């Protein structure tokens, strides 16, 4: 699978998950649903951000390919690396053939908050005070579907991280993968609470 196809697949999964979040959030109207709604709104905001990031990478890929193709002629031997970059783009081996020596500090993109800390912050109420929504089985089913999408997104970001050559894309994929794992943990916790 080409890298751009992984990006498109991740974007589509993000879009499907966002649609599910919006659906379940619309159902949460009573005061008893406020805590769950607050949590799901935070997760939905992340989905918007992830979807937009994938769209931005896809646009950058298309613009890069266009720029390189338009500026390859007249051809000189010094442009050989550009021709090779176009071939790699066409083969799906790279997304953005920028400066390969660019280093990104892990404090910028790679900052990681332990999932336990995220859960503690987001799920600030004690389990016994959590009041599930009136139609909790329907909400739980939607959350389970989102959990399935999470698996697809994690797969895509893991593949992207292992195959990407550009350090920014690699680090972004790593950060998104970690963030998706946090989401999965949060959603599983909510689903478990809705079972009881």
Stretch 13-17: mean pLDDT: 96
Which pLDDT tens digit goes with each residue over 84-123?
A: 888 887 887 777 665 432 222 233 333 444 555 555 555 5
- Structural Rg of the chain based on CA atoms: 20
Which pLDDT tens digit goes with each residue over 117-156?
A: 555 555 554 444 455 566 778 888 899 999 999 889 999 9
Greatest mean pLDDT range, 18-32, 93-107, 179-193 = 18-32
What DSSP character marks residue 124?
A: -
Structure tokens at 94: 């790279």
Tokens 């783009």 sit on residue: 89
Which pLDDT tens digit goes with each residue over 71-81?
A: 888 887 777 77
At residue 101, the pLDDT reads 21
CATH number among 1.20.140, 1.20.1260, 1.10.10, 2.60.40, domain 3-195? 1.20.1260
Q: Hey, where are the domains in the chain?
A: 3-195
pLDDT band for position 8 (cuts 50, 70, 90): very high
What is the spatial distance between Cα 175 and Cα 50, in angstroms, rounded to a whole number?
11
pLDDT band for position 22 (cuts 50, 70, 90): very high
User: Taking a C-beta distance cutoff of 8 angstroms, is the pair 160, 95 a contact?
Assistant: no
At residue 121, the pLDDT reads 52
More confident of the two residues 18 and 68: 18
* CA distances (Å), origin 158, targets 16, 77, 140, 163, 169: 19, 37, 27, 9, 12
Angle between helical axes of 136-163 and 167-195 (0-180°, round to 10): 160
Which pLDDT tens digit goes with each residue over 34-59?
A: 989 999 999 999 899 899 999 998 99
What is the spatial distance between Cα 151 and Cα 164, in angstroms, rounded to a whole number?
20
């Amino acid at each position: 699978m080409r890298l751009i196809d992984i990006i498109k697949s991740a974007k589509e999964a993000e879009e499907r998950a966002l649609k599910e979040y919006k659906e379940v959030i619309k159902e949460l109207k009573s005061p008893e649903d406020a805590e769950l709604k607050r949590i799901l709104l935070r997760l939905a905001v992340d989905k918007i951000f992830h979807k937009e990031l994938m769209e931005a990478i896809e646009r950058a890929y298309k613009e890069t390919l266009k720029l390189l193709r338009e500026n390859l002629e007249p051809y000189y031997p010094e442009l050989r690396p550009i021709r090779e970059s176009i071939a790699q783009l066409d083969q799906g081996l790279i997304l953005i053939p920028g400066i390969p020596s660019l280093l990104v500090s892990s404090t910028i993109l790679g900052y990681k908050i332990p999932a336990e800390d995220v859960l503690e912050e987001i799920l600030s109420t004690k389990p016994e005070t959590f009041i599930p929504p009136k139609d909790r089985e329907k909400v739980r089913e939607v959350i389970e579907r989102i959990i399935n999408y999470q698996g697809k997104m994690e797969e895509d970001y893991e593949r992207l991280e292992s195959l990407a050559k550009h350090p920014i894309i690699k680090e972004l994929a790593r950060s998104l993968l970690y963030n998706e794992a946090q989401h999965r943990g949060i959603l599983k916790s909510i689903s478990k609470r809705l079972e009881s």
